[in-house]
């Protein structure tokens, strides 16, 4: 393998000739052989870095034109656009398990943009620190990249997927507005409910989750860029923070602004905790909904069997014909992963010491994994399960008719204790509520029929 010699402040390093990264990236690649090829810096962070470097070059061009020439700005922007287009992914090899400030990933981007920009210019035009990193520090760029990546993931992936799933439940709710079934509390029979009402609970839960996600986006719009090393803005020109944030907002179409307090923006990750809490809330509701659906579909003969769901693949290597609720299972596993990630995000956010948090890569990694998994899980669940849910009307009707909790309709007429005795007698003797009520002498057949209307109980 051919190499070239690159230099940094520690000396010379040999780097693969066909890669645009430089000495600092290579040192990190060699010093952190942890999860290589598996747990690399998320693509969303790489994209966010390219966005902010492009914006920073434009801001520097306007504020420091004597240093950021138009030729340099254009070379940086063109190289950044290639990163945004996904053309240079193999030039970002670094893993999550590196320095807690993400300095090496910042330098990875600086080196790639510098070397690719030089190739575009056809001459040694750009320096990774002096030009690509102008007016910046890893300490403000990585938190900025985190917020850009997290906000884009929530706004452009999670929320749209949640909206699509909500709409699927809304259609299902309307289609089943008239279907009467048995309600259940404590996993025990309860009073009747309409299937459309049950589905409305799922739909409303997702709508509430979307409200919380939108609220959680607000703090993420604030960017640390311009705080540089410790929040003072050292080496950044006046107005760089506001201008660069405005340019990022323009590029993304999202309302990013500069953080009011850069000391907070560098050391606190509370916005990530808050936003991931909304992701966890969504995961909790998805866990509940998926479990409801697989319980309702259990059987097909010996379970509840009140609904059918699509049969996507064989469910057993030994039992022929068995089909399992696999889409429900993937949702519940994703939910469990998100709940676990929430612990990591919280612990990482608690590790701000003085002017910097040094758990940022793992915080970003877990947050973005949660967002990706939730978005992809909801789309798969909708396409391969929810859209194919059908009520088993005969089974629902049978269960309603056999439910002892229909006795609740008799309470206003005969009282709670007599109604309870009626249900207990019916259960013990295996007869109907009507037969038990007449046998106990509480009502005549005509009186029973007059106050017993299950369809009016929902």
Sequence-ordered list of residues with C-beta below 8 angstroms from that of 279, at least 6 positions apart, any chain: 154, 158, 213, 338, 342, 367, 370, 371, 374
3-state per-residue secondary structure call for the chain: CCEEEEEECCEEEEEECCCCCCHHHHHHHHHCCCCCCCCECCHHHHHHHHHHHHHHHHHHHHHCCCCCCHHHHHHHHHHHHHHHCCCCHHHCCCECCCCCCCHHHHHHHHHHHHHHHHHHHCCCCCCHHHHHCCCCCHHHHHHHHHHHHHHHHHHHHHHHHHHHHHHHHHHHHHHCCCCEEEEEECCEEEEEEEHHHHHHHHHHHHHHHHHHHHHHHHHHCEECCCCCCCCCCCCCCCCHHHHHHHHHHHHHCCCCEECCCHHHHHHCCHHHHHHHHHHHHHHHHHHHHHHHHHHHCCCCCCCCCCEECCCCCCCCCCCCCCCCCHHHHHHHHHHHHHHHHHHHHHHHHCCEECCEECCHHHHHHHHHHHHHHHHHHHHHHHHHCHHHCEECHHHHHHHHHHCHHHHHHHHHHHCHHHHHHHHHHHHHHCCCHHHHHHHCCCCCHHHHHHHCCHHHCC
Marked catalytic residue, from 7, 316, 350, 453: 316
316 is catalytic: yes
Are 389 and 308 a contacting pair, CB within 8 Å?
yes
Query: What's the rounded Cα separation, in Å, for the pair 458 and 449?
Result: 18
- Residue in the structure block whose two tokens are 């990774």: 128
Marked catalytic residue, from 186, 276, 350, 453: 186
137 is catalytic: no
Give the active site residues: 186, 316
């Amino acid at each position: 393998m051919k190499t070239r010699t690159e230099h940094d402040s520690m000396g010379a390093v040999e780097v693969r000739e066909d890669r645009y990264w430089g000495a600092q990236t290579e040192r990190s690649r060699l010093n952190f052989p942890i999860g290589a090829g598996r747990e690399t810096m998320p693509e969303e962070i790489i994209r966010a870095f390219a966005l902010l470097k492009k914006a920073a070059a434009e801001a520097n061009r306007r504020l420091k034109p004597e240093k950021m020439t138009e030729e340099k700005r254009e070379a940086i922007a063109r190289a950044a656009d290639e990163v945004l287009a996904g053309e240079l992914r193999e030039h970002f090899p670094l893993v999550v398990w590196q320095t807690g400030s993400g300095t090496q990933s910042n330098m990875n981007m600086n080196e790639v943009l510098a070397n690719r920009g030089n190739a575009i210019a056809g001459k040694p035009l750009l320096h990774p620190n002096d030009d690509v990193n102008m007016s910046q520090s890893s300490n403000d760029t990585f938190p900025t990249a985190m917020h850009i990546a997290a906000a884009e993931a929530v706004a452009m992936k999670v929320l749209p997927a949640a909206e699509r799933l909500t709409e699927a439940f809304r259609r299902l709710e309307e289609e089943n507005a008239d279907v009467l079934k048995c309600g259940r509390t404590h996993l025990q029979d309860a009073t009747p409910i309409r299937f459309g009402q049950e589905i409305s609970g799922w739909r409303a839960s997702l709508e509430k989750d979307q409200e919380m996600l939108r609220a959680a986006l607000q703090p993420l719009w604030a960017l640390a860029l311009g705080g540089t090393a410790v929040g003072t803005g050292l080496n950044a020109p006046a107005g760089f923070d506001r201008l660069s944030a405005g340019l990022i907002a323009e590029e993304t179409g999202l309302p990013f602004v500069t953080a009011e307090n850069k000391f907070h923006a560098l050391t606190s990750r509370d916005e990530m905790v808050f936003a991931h809490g909304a992701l966890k809330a969504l995961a909790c509701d998805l866990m509940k909904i998926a479990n409801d659906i697989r319980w309702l579909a259990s059987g097909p003969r010996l379970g509840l069997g009140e609904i059918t769901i699509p049969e996507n693949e064989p469910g057993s290597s030994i039992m022929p014909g068995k089909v399992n609720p696999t889409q429900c299972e993937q949702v519940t596993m994703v939910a469990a992963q998100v709940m676990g990630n929430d612990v990591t995000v919280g612990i990482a956010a608690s590790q701000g010491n003085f002017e910097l948090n040094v758990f940022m890569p793992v915080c970003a990694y877990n947050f973005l994994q949660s967002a990706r998994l939730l978005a992809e899980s909801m789309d798969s669940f909708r396409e391969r399960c929810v859209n194919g849910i059908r009520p088993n009307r005969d089974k629902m009707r049978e269960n309603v008719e056999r439910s002892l909790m229909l006795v609740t309709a008799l309470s206003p007429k005969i009282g709670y204790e007599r109604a309870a005795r009626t249900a207990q007698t019916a259960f013990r003797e295996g007869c109907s509520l009507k037969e038990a009520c007449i046998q106990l002498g509480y009502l005549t057949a005509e009186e029973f029929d007059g106050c017993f209307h299950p369809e009016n109980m929902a």
